[in-house]
Chain A
């Protein structure tokens, strides 16, 4: 394969209280893919993303972004945490949350200026949330909150996007809006990595997939490896039966 490797994970092991939740993960994510990470609850999907982003400290292994450690490549990476990970009663507006996406390129101490505000407004426009820019964030619906998070990642103008369950608790129209934006990102040559729960939509939404259950089960193009064999290995026996119920 002559494609560039956007994210490389070597021998990554992560533990909570000495109990490994990720065992010896090796993973190469080529540039320009729209990849789903799938696996059962507790498989370590969010943990994998957080370890790549340096939010969690692994007990072994290393991660590189375009060949260099994450610390040196921060500005190439945008992150959308799970919607439930923040307090939506926080006293702030939609625009202000999106502005937070610009903080990374500003660095310590420097304040956002007109330029940052303009970028944030453009990102709000892209996700169809411009009319809500001054709305307090608790006054937004679940789908709107997720769009705000997406806009915050867009404003970072990164090369690689990590998203933790962006489709959780959103309505159908928001799901379509989000996936269209993700596909547009891929078209623009960006790499997008999404923790995903709904297996039915994997072939439709993604072109790359990683099966994860504490260990890496498989990774590759959806058309080659998204099959019963890997699903069964990841989710346990009789997987096919349960999905048809």
Chain B
């Protein structure tokens, strides 16, 4: 690895971390689309800032562009508040308008501005190491590394300081307001951080990847944990993993780094979506199948409890009577045997003591919905896990 490669991976990883933090809260606040809006509508801010400063990495440009991000949020909310259109429509109205202003500004001033629309959409991480911070002859590394580091430090300090406030205002706005933690302050604070992060990451990874880096790692982490702190850490982890694996994928393909990182984000999400232990598609399918079997088991046990007549309890009778197919009847029978809930004597099925107690308890639960008494059954049966 040469130093440019290390620098690119470092920048990509820091961008991923800086995006994952506000991204987690955007996902939990169901505001994923607002990050898309911000990432596009900061373009006029960047262009105007560039006219003034002639430096894509100037702090003034970042502030100006972040301001356009905030304006986007305010405009979206204003249009939405009129009650004439819904939020998604308002987002769809605002950001193309602002983005197109940026596009026209670039086109009209193509000779003066070293910006093109491709670079804006996809960024060009490969060029980041060329724009270096040089102070009185000493090389301090790529400028974008410094920018994203500064933004990341601010984000982390704000996150640690206001974690409790962010959590409560995200979970329960009403409670936050009544406790005196103004949800508006938290909302605009989060929007400001998202805007600044977007601008800082924009130059390196472009408008589309910024959105992916904010949303995909958080959405992936959401499927794996039920703890907000772990969700943040996992989102950061997935972001960095995608950044580095994406870089090498691009290296191998000789393709766009931004595109490859986005592909990795998508792949990781897909894997987790399929295989996550409790929320993944396969786990859910398995659970549903188990629940069906368990409902059958309970039906069967109840039938045994209700009938003492021999003809109702004959093994072969089950198929005809409860109307189950052979395979299902057998799997239910096996499950009941395995759990020592029934005994079979001369092809006659009867409940064991354990089976009898279990049936009464389960039926009682289904009727009363009293959760506490079936706690011990949750480990063995999906049916009772709510």
B216 CB to closest chain A CB, in angstroms?
17
Q: How far is the CB of B256 from chain A (nearest CB, A)?
A: 33
A131 in contact with B375 (CB, 8 Å) = yes
- Kindly provide the distance from the CB of A198 to the nearest chain B CB, expressed in whole angstroms: 19
Our pick among B175, B181, B227, B369 for the contact of A171 (Cβ within 8 Å) is: B369
B28 touches A90 (CB 8 A): yes
Cross-interface CB contact of A85 among B172, B181, B371, cutoff 8 Å: B172
Which has the most chain A C-beta neighbours within 10 Å: B168, B180, B375? B180
**Does B111 count as interface, using CB distance less than 8 angstroms?**
no
Assembly CA distance A171 to B172 (angstroms) = 23
* Contacting pair A112 B174 (CB below 8 A): no
User: If the complex has contacts A100-B168, A103-B181, A141-B386, are A109 and B231 also in contact, measured as CB distance less than 8 A?
Assistant: no
Q: Are the CB atoms of B174 and A71 closer together than 8 Å?
A: no
Size category, B interface: 35 or more
- Residues of A within 8 Å of B177, CB to CB, are 53-55
What is the number of residues of chain A that contact chain B, defined by CB distance less than 8 Å? Answer: 39
Contact partner, A71, options B161, B164, B180, B370, Cβ 8 Å: B180
Q: Tell whether, in the assembled complex, residue B375 and residue A91 are in contact, meaning their CB atoms are under 8 Å apart.
A: no
Pick the most buried of B167, B168, B171: most chain A CB atoms within 10 A of its CB.
B171
Q: In the assembled complex, how far is the CB of residue A98 from the closest CB belonging to chain B, in whole angstroms?
A: 12
Per the bound structure, the CA–CA distance linking A106 and B163 in Å amounts to: 13
B299 interfacial by beta-carbon distance below 8 Å: no
Q: Is the interface of B mostly helix, strand, loop or mixed?
A: helix
- B178 contacts the other chain (CB 8 A): yes
Neighbouring A residues of B164 by C-beta, 8 Å: 103, 106, 109, 111-112
Tell whether A92 pairs with B172 under 8 Å between CB atoms, given A54-B177, A55-B177, A131-B375. Answer: no
Cα distance A81–B385 in the bound complex, in angstroms: 26
The residue from A71, A136, A141 contacting B371, defined by CB atoms under 8 A apart: A141
Would you call B228 an interface residue if the criterion is a C-beta within 8 Å of the partner chain's C-beta atoms? yes
Type the 1/0 row for B56-89, where 1 means its CB is closer than 8 Å to any CB of A.
0000000000000000000000000001000000
Chain B residues in 8 Å Cβ range of A17: 83
Cβ-based interface call for B372 (8 A): yes
Q: Which residues of A contact B170 (CB under 8 A)?
A: 90
CA distance in complex: A36, B165 (Å): 31
Within 8 A of A (CB), among B141-189: 161-162, 164-165, 167-168, 170-175, 177-181
Q: Does A87 contact B (CB under 8 A)?
A: yes
- Whether, in the assembled complex, B225 has its beta carbon less than 8 Å from a beta carbon of chain A, the answer is yes
Q: Indicate whether A100 sits within 8 Å of B386 (C-beta atoms), given known contacts A91-B222, A91-B226, A131-B372.
A: no
Contact B372 A87 (CB under 8 A): no
Q: Give the chain A neighbours of B28 by CB distance below 8 A.
A: 87, 90-91
Residue from B164, B175, B180 having most chain A Cβ neighbours under 10 A: B175
Chain A contacts with B in 28-82, Cβ cutoff 8 A: 50, 53-55, 71, 74, 77, 79, 81
Determine if A92 and B162 form an interchain contact, defined as CB atoms under 8 angstroms apart: no
A103 contacts which of B168, B372, B385 (Cβ < 8 Å)? B168
Shortest Cβ distance from residue B29 to the other chain A in the assembled complex, whole angstroms: 9
21 pairs, A vs B, C-beta closer than 8 Å = A17-B83, A50-B174, A55-B174, A79-B178, A81-B174, A85-B173, A86-B172, A87-B171, A90-B28, A90-B170, A91-B28, A91-B228, A92-B167, A100-B175, A103-B165, A106-B164, A108-B162, A108-B181, A131-B372, A139-B386, A173-B370
A90-B28, A91-B28, A92-B226 known, 8 other contacts, Cβ within 8 Å? A86-B171, A92-B227, A100-B167, A104-B179, A107-B180, A109-B164, A112-B164, A143-B369
Interfacial residues, chain B to chain A (CB-CB below 8 A)? 28, 30, 83, 161-162, 164-165, 167-168, 170-175, 177-181, 222, 225-228, 230-231, 368-372, 375, 385-386
Q: Which residues of A contact B (CB under 8 A)?
A: 17, 50, 53-55, 71, 74, 77, 79, 81, 85-87, 90-93, 97, 100, 103-104, 106-109, 111-112, 128, 131, 136, 138-141, 143-144, 152, 171, 173
